[in-house]
Amino acid sequence: MRKIYVFGNPDIRNDSLPKKLLPQLAEKFPEIKFVDADPQDLDFSEDDLVIIDTVLGIEEVTVFDNLENFEKKSRISLHDHDLGMELFLQKKMGKIKNLKIIGIPPNFAQRKAFLQVCKNLKKLASFLFLIFLLCYS
């Protein structure tokens, strides 16, 4: 079962949206395990890591392909120190091979965020399945 890690802080208004989407996403995509993640307890084991988190400085839900791209587009996230540092360290240690970050703008309407995240998850699923076919056929 594919895992997608969802970050955010339900106690901070500008950072709570990803966590609010968890029940809807789990219902819409029962084949995916959405992990309610905490930047302090990370142990990624997937070759293709997918994360959903709040990102400042974007206007729409945006998919970042790698940490360098993510950093260029938005140097500040609500988890900049904890999550960003942990991702960079795990990447450097070779624990993260492929990374996709689905960034949600803060203060985005929940319904709009849900629809855009779903659209991007469907695109990613097609892409990851295609990579699987190419690598294992």
Ranges of residues in the chain whose predicted pLDDT is under 70: 1, 40-41, 43-47, 69-82, 126-137
In one-letter notation, the amino acid at residue 52 is I
pLDDT for residue 133:
45
Pick the CATH number of 2-136 from 3.20.20.10, 3.40.50.2300, 3.40.50.1450, 3.30.830.10: 3.40.50.1450
Spatial contact of 37 and 86, defined as CB atoms under 8 Å apart: no
pLDDT for residue 49:
83
What are the DSSP calls for the chain, one per residue? -EEEEE---TTSGGG-HHHHHHHHHHHH-TTEEEEE--TTS-----SEEEEEEEBTT-SS-EEE-SHHHHHHH-S-BTTIIIIIHHHHHHHHTT--SEEEEEEE-TT--HHHHHHHHHHHHHHHHHHHHHHHHHHH-
